[in-house]
Structure 1
Amino acid sequence: MQFDLIVVGAGAAGLLCAGMAGQRGLRVLVIDHADKVAEKIRISGGGRCNFTNRDAGPTNFLSDNPNFCRSALARYTPQDFIALVQKHGISFHEKHKGQLFCDDSAEQIIRMLLDECAQGGVQHWQPCTVTDIQQPERDGGGFTVETSRGPLQCSRLVVATGGLSIPKIGASDWGLRLAQRFGHKIVTPRAALVPLTFDAQDWAPFATLSGLSLPVIVSTGKGKTQGRFVEDLLFTHRGLSGPAILQISSYWQDGQPLQINLSPDADLATMLQAAKSDSKRQLGNVLGGLFPQRLAQAWLERLGLPSQRPMPECKDKDLQQLAQQLQAWQLTPNGSEGWRKAEVMRGGVDTRELNSQNMESKRIPGLHFIGEVMDVTGWLGGYNFQWAWASAAACARSIEAKL
């Protein structure tokens, strides 16, 4: 069977690319090894899909080639995808910092993408495994794709197989292996948007705080590689999670410390000194009025400060140390919860070997990579979906122009 375009991967990027290409008159086939399409969409945003962020721009993405994403993001914006959502009558709301969610269900986004594919006459083979791809002839003869349902021919091949996160929903390294086979470099993949863990012995004083959440400022790294976020932090039995930690995990490198300000809106040293001068209350009660009680008690025990000590009897140096510890807490993770808990992959196909206008390989004409399989990683909050849409659109529009 002959197709103009075969898309391997029926996720966010693959389905949008297929639908757009099909509606431009191309004969398109989507192949996926899973029984269901777009599982990552289905489970995202607590089942309501954080499908984009109103404020998405190049500064919200990480890559070893940071300028690569600029062109695609500029040519298919959050407003473009919002218009598509509105066209299909899907109601949505903004939850936090530009994050847009379906009012009802993530299934609406999946249905929308499938409807767009249907309008373009896109064919689907699922479940179907790609067993081999023969390198195209030098004269541009296209690709031979061997599958579990038989051989195929196509002029262009789009790899939209996603990253390695959440293996239980079918994550695979197939796209990375194919890229390497065709001579592409791979930026070492690692788990991103993922909870961080700590040595069990070092973490023992904080394990009892599991479930406690509070707003913080968290940072790591220096200069151009520094990350800094003002978000909520969540204590767990094994370490730290919550939006603040998921965000900073994309910037964190092995061996690097985190800096955490547990009281971002206050000058804690001044407040404690004022309480010493003006109050006879106990230290534990004062600190418990500024932080969750469990956190206040854990910190006093960690520093060996009696919670029952009246404020006037507290030494200035103890109060200064307490404030410094709480507002400049430095600790070094020993790792992360890994692919099982990661929301996305950092790293992937090196974009320095791809064309930023159309996502096409500079090594193999007619071979394209879109979405998470590339070394482009967005922040938490709808940014990675926006990259899926933008890279898919850049690819689909360019293929129409060339065929």
Structure 2
Amino acid sequence: MSKIERFDAIVLGAGGAGLMCAAVAGQRGRRLLVLDHADAPGKKILISGGGRCNFTNLNAGADRYLSANPHFAKSALGRYRAEDFIALVDRHGIAWHEKTLGQLFCDGSSRQIVAMLLDECDKGEVTLRLGEPVRGVEHGDGLFRVAWGDSEATAPSLVIATGGPSIPKLGATGFAYELARRFGLKVVEPRPALVPLTLSGEEALFRSLSGVSAEVVARAGKTHFREAALFTHKGLSGPAILQISSYWRHGEQIGVNFFPDAAPDWLIEAKRARPRATLRATLARVIPERLAEALAERIGLGSELANLPDRALLEAGRRLADWRFSPNGTEGFAKAEVTVGGIATAGLSSQTMEARSVPGLYAIGEAVDVTGWLGGYNFQWAWASGWAAAQAL
């Protein structure tokens, strides 16, 4: 056994939140150790945004996050904003661009963001140890003692930044929750979020549309998103569906408006303009032909519009504006971009991310019950929560 090293804080997890926290605290003069069982840092960062890292969103307010306490994220997000991270990116000369809905991506590669965070850690003289799992965490006499491999270290502060169980092929586990429970913190039951939904039974017929996408408004309860939906061989995906999945619960239906710009009586107007057209042909003027064919077949109005009563066309328009699907599940943590749930915010300070009942213990990033929308929001939470904890270390 090698000698026990001493640090001001130990960060468990070399993802976005952990690296951000360590870099900021290190540059504040603290001696930081970052541990991760993965053989390389920032693995989720590397695969994000199709390899270009959707690193933040210009609209990252607390109302774009799910949590048992919808107000918890306000403090951290308000003190470290998207503009602050953009300024950091700019200082490192990383070119970026805005896509739709305030989403910011690297012009080049996600590797630039990881390299930037590691450079910031270097500036803070952060010690990074990778490739060996933590084999023990103890707490006593105001110190946390962490063992990994044949090494041990102590520190008065410990930061849980190991994320959630989404994308286990990258090494994701529920370790954060196990550790939190050991210290008496409650955990909101985790479930997959930003994840494709699966269909079965009669709705499985839509699998024949695999690869077809359309801009829709998808709705679960009172929440709705207007983006693309994609049919897959298992069910439904695409940005609109991924967004809704975070709000959907087993047993509930989702509604999809395939014609979000259409008036309620648009099919009656179409009958007046093109009386000889069929419903299928009319739908295909707006949405992909294969989708139009499937929807028209389900509605069952096969004759020309001129032969269809207005009330039937109104009912068809109503159904197309709120087409009901009954998902039988999701594609699980393997395909989920993030996790809803996690370490309960009731036990944490929203100012510092410190556990109220365990001085010196912090939880940040995806490990916490704060989950953002699709489009850079979860990275902004990682940066902001990591920064907030770093101010208190």
1:55-204 equivalences under 5 Å are 55-137=59-141, 141-199=142-200, 201-204=201-204
2:215 corresponds to which residue?
Answer: 215
Q: Which runs of 5+ in 2 are unaligned?
A: none
- After the TM superposition, which parts of structure 1 deviate over 4 Å for at least 4 consecutive aligned residues? none
Aligned residue among 272, 275, 299 for 1:277 = 272
CA distance in 2, matches of 1:286, 1:118: 61
1:376 corresponds to which residue?
Answer: 370
Q: CA deviation at 1:130?
A: 1.1
Which residue identity does 1:123 align to in structure 2? T
CA distance in 2, matches of 1:184, 1:394: 19
CA distance in 1, matches of 2:131, 2:198: 36
1:255 corresponds to which residue?
Answer: 251
CA distance in 1, matches of 2:356, 2:21: 20
Secondary structure in structure 1 of the residue aligned to 2:140: coil
CA distance in 2, matches of 1:249, 1:20: 34
CA distance in 2, matches of 1:365, 1:228: 40
Q: Deviations along 1:264-303, whole A, 9 cap, x unmatched? A: 0011x52221232343423132222132211111112112
Matched-pair contact (CA < 8 Å) for 1:4–1:28: yes
Matched-pair contact (CA < 8 Å) for 1:203–1:238: no
Q: Which moved more, 1:206-215 or 1:73-82?
A: 206-215
Which residue identity does 1:215 align to in structure 2? E
Matched-pair contact (CA < 8 Å) for 1:259–1:330: yes
Q: Which moved more, 1:184-193 or 1:123-132?
A: 123-132
Q: CA deviation at 1:44?
A: 0.1
Secondary structure in structure 2 of the residue aligned to 1:281: coil
CA distance in 2, matches of 1:331, 1:204: 10
State TM-score, norm by structure 2.
0.96
CA distance in 2, matches of 1:192, 1:236: 18
2:36 corresponds to which residue?
Answer: 32
Secondary structure in structure 2 of the residue aligned to 1:290: coil
Secondary structure in structure 2 of the residue aligned to 1:135: strand
Q: CA deviation at 1:236?
A: 1.0
Secondary structure in structure 2 of the residue aligned to 1:277: helix
CA distance in 1, matches of 2:372, 2:317: 34
Matched-pair contact (CA < 8 Å) for 2:204–2:235: no
State TM-score, norm by structure 1.
0.94
1:49 corresponds to 2:45: no
Q: Which moved more, 1:297-306 or 1:162-171?
A: 297-306
1:227 corresponds to which residue?
Answer: 223
1:341 corresponds to which residue?
Answer: 335
Between the two proteins, the alignment pairs up a number of residues equal to 388
Identity of aligned residues (%): 52
**Aligned CA-pair RMSD:** 1.2
Matched-pair contact (CA < 8 Å) for 1:346–1:375: yes
Matched-pair contact (CA < 8 Å) for 2:220–2:244: yes
Which residue identity does 2:93 align to in structure 1? G
CA distance in 2, matches of 1:154, 1:176: 21
1:322 corresponds to 2:323: no
Q: Deviations along 1:202-241, whole A, 9 cap, x unmatched? A: 22331111111111111112xxxx3211111111111111
CA distance in 1, matches of 2:272, 2:144: 78
Q: CA deviation at 1:317?
A: 3.2
Q: Which runs of 5+ in 1 are unaligned?
A: none
Matched-pair contact (CA < 8 Å) for 1:20–1:396: yes
Q: Deviations along 1:95-153, whole A, 9 cap, x unmatched? A: 1111000000000000000000011111111112211111232xxx2111122132211
Q: Deviations along 1:29-55, whole A, 9 cap, x unmatched? A: 110001011100000000000000011
Q: CA deviation at 1:10?
A: 0.3
CA distance in 1, matches of 2:300, 2:305: 15
Which residue identity does 1:286 align to in structure 2? T
Matched-pair contact (CA < 8 Å) for 1:73–1:387: yes
2:206 corresponds to which residue?
Answer: 206
Q: Deviations along 1:58-82, whole A, 9 cap, x unmatched? A: 1010100111111111110001100
